[in-house]
C-alpha cells in the first residue's frame, strides 16, 4: 500500500493552520509539520522533505513568497510542490506567487472542498 503524501502547513493564524491541516488529512495526506512563520517553514521543509508545502503569503520572519523562492533555489527542496494561500486575490498577486515558483495559488477565503481538491491535485502521483 502506498504511503500518503507528506504535507507541511505554514500559516501564522492558528485557526487557518488547523483548517488547512484538516483539509490536508481529508485529502488523504499526512501532515509532517504545522508551523507559524516563514523561518520555521523553511527549516521544517529542509528537515522533513515534504511532498507539498502549503504556505500563507503573509507570515512573519519570511513571507510565503520568500520561502517559496528559497525552496526553489535549494537543490534539496527544489522539487517540493508549493501551494500558496493568500488574502491577495488580484491577478498581480497570483502572478507574483507563480513567479516565485509556486505550483498553485489559492485565494482566501477558500472552501475546505476547494483546498482538498487542490491538495489532491498537487499530490497526485507523488512517489512514495
Q: What is the block-wise mean pLDDT of the chain (128 residues), using blocks of 10 residues?
A: 89 96 97 97 96 96 95 94 92 92 94 96 76
CATH classification at residue 61 = 3.40.50.2300
104 part of a folded domain: yes
Domain count, the chain: 1
pLDDT value of position 128: 42
Query: Could you give the CA distance from residue 56 to residue 37 in angstroms, rounded to a whole number?
Result: 9
Q: Which pTM was predicted?
A: 0.94
Query: Could you give the CA distance from residue 4 to residue 89 in angstroms, rounded to a whole number?
Result: 30
Residue with cell 485565494: 107
1 part of a folded domain: no
37 part of a folded domain: yes
20 part of a folded domain: yes
Beta-carbon-side half-sphere exposure of residue 80 (alpha carbons within 13 Å): 32
pLDDT value of position 125: 72
* Buried b / exposed e along 52-63 (16+ C-beta atoms within 10 A): bbbbbbbbeebb
Query: Could you give the CA distance from residue 108 to residue 111 in angstroms, rounded to a whole number?
Result: 9
pLDDT value of position 127: 54
CA distances from 46 to 72, 112, 113 (A): 12, 27, 29
Three-state DSSP state, 116: helix
13 part of a folded domain: yes
- Please give the residue range of the domain that contains residue 72: 6-123
46 part of a folded domain: yes
Amino acid at each position: 500500500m502506498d504511503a500518503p503524501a507528506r504535507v507541511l502547513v505554514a500559516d501564522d493564524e492558528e485557526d487557518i493552520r488547523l483548517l488547512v491541516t484538516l483539509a490536508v488529512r481529508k485529502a488523504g495526506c499526512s501532515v509532517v509539520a504545522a508551523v507559524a512563520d516563514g523561518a520555521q517553514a523553511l527549516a521544517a521543509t529542509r528537515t522533513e522533505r515534504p511532498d507539498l508545502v502549503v504556505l500563507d503569503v503573509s507570515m512573519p520572519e519570511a513571507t510565503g513568497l520568500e520561502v517559496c523562492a528559497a525552496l526553489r533555489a535549494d537543490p534539496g527542496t527544489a522539487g517540493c510542490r508549493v501551494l500558496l494561500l493568500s488574502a491577495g486575490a488580484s491577478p498581480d498577486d497570483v502572478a507574483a506567487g507563480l513567479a516565485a515558483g509556486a505550483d498553485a495559488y489559492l485565494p482566501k477565503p477558500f472552501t475546505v472542498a476547494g483546498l482538498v481538491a487542490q491538495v489532491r491535485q498537487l499530490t497526485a502521483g507523488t512517489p512514495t
